[in-house]
Structure 1
Amino acid sequence: MRKTAFSLLIALFTLSACTRDKGEISFRMKYEANYLVESSVGINVPFTLQTPPVQSNSEQAFRNNNTNASLVSSITMDYAQFAITAPENSDFSFLESVKLIIKADGLEDKTLAELDPVPANAGNTIVLSTSKANFKEYLLKDQFTLSLETVTDEFRSEDQEFRFNGEFLVKADVLN
């Protein structure tokens, strides 16, 4: 009887040692988009610039990080930066405020990041304050749209081109 109880105890410890805790991982998904503010935009007039639908690269990013959509716990906006690409020697002083919004079919529009007011001495690069909301539902879609809502406080005689660089922080469990 003692040998059977001891054998069962050893078997129980061996089986429990085989189960592995799933580890949580964090990784970043990067996105870029280009925007054009035409010179004809008036002062203190809100306007929206929209990218064409962005293909989500979520599935590939999940595979590369040994996880999948069902194991994702959260996706948050971690970094949002705009840099002027043309004309040279231009700056963001013409903007009063800027707000980056994510849109996806079947979901309510949601603010990713914003800067209000844009400092008068902003230079040619600005970093927006990011939302701490969970954007998991948006990035699990096949595609989404990034809209930029801005208000200008100066008349511009030239078109302004700038690039968005953003990073989403993904937290997920790893596959077994």
Structure 2
Amino acid sequence: MHHKHAKQHNNQYIMKKLYLIVTVVLLTYGSCKEVSQLTHFYIDYTSNVTIPPADVVGIPIDVWTPYIPTNSDEIFGNNNTSSGLIEEIILTEMKMNITSPSSQSFDFLKSIEIYIIANNLSEVKIAWYDDIPQTGLSSINMETSNDDLKEFIKKDEFKLRFKTVLRQQISDTTDIEIFSTFFVDAQILGI
């Protein structure tokens, strides 16, 4: 009889331990998920590039944006993090709009590749559009890479290099506005 009581007590002890372990695992998972949600934010940048008149068709032409200030220290601080706590930064969206001349469309371009450049870093291809349709579009959304760009955004500034291939000659300067959205995954200060 004493043996049966000891076995029952032992089973209760094991069940309590198991319950405690499951509770700790669930709380840990739940809190990690909560912290993870608190550490995600987006950074938007707007820049401009000018494609000069050109009569070179089918050969790549490079043009650059001016340097774009990142303001990353301020942005990270506003999101309760710092550059040392950044896990990953990925370009999630890049949209381009022709701003001048108003009659221009992207029909003149066959393709675009966009590279990010910053001091002391090798450039990285971050966006592209192959075989741009000839449908009169004045706005296009680029395909984007999944590369981690944190080292570029942590710098004070970066610029973009556009490798363009013209489908047809252009006689006017074409101004393009670029909207970029970067997703940031970071740890929270003090956690």
TM-score (norm 1): 0.84
Q: In 1, distance between residues paired with 2:143 and 2:60? A: 19
Q: In 2, distance between residues paired with 1:41 and 1:147? A: 20
Instruction: For residue 104 of structure 2, give the secondary structure of its aligned residue in structure 1.
Output: coil
Q: In 1, distance between residues paired with 2:175 and 2:55? A: 13
Matched, 1:32 2:46: yes
Which blocks of at least 5 consecutive residues in structure 2 are unaligned? 1-30
Match of 1:142 in 2: 156
Name segments (4+ residues, structure 1) moved above 4 Å: none
CA positional deviation for 1:90: 1.6
Instruction: For residue 90 of structure 1, give the secondary structure of its aligned residue in structure 2.
Output: coil
CA positional deviation for 1:40: 2.7
Match of 1:173 in 2: 187
User: Which structure has more helix as a fraction of its residues?
Assistant: 2
Q: In 1, distance between residues paired with 2:102 and 2:156? A: 36
Matched, 1:93 2:131: no
Q: In 2, distance between residues paired with 1:28 and 1:57? A: 13
Instruction: Tell me which moved more, 22-31 or 165-174.
Output: 22-31
Q: Deviations over 1:125-163 (max 9, x none)?
A: 010000001001111112212111110011112221110
Residue from 163, 174, 178 that aligns with 1:160: 174
Match of 1:121 in 2: 135
Q: Deviations over 1:67-123 (max 9, x none)?
A: 111111000001001100011122101001101110112211101110111122250
Q: How many residues align?
A: 159
- Which structure's CA Rg is the greater one? 2
Q: Deviations over 1:24-64 (max 9, x none)?
A: 31111111111111123421121111122222211111011
TM-score (norm 2): 0.78
Q: In 2, distance between residues paired with 1:156 and 1:55? A: 30
In structure 2, do the counterparts of structure 1 residues 92 and 108 end up closer, same or farther at CA, with 3 Å as the change threshold? same
User: Is the CA contact (8 Å cut-off) linking 2:48 and 2:66 kept in structure 1?
Assistant: no
Instruction: For residue 133 of structure 1, give the secondary structure of its aligned residue in structure 2.
Output: coil
Residue from 27, 35, 39 that aligns with 1:23: 35
Instruction: For residue 59 of structure 1, give the secondary structure of its aligned residue in structure 2.
Output: helix
Instruction: For residue 96 of structure 1, give the secondary structure of its aligned residue in structure 2.
Output: strand
Which blocks of at least 5 consecutive residues in structure 1 are unaligned? 1-19
User: Which structure has more strand as a fraction of its residues?
Assistant: 1
**Kindly, what percent of the aligned residue pairs are identical?**
28
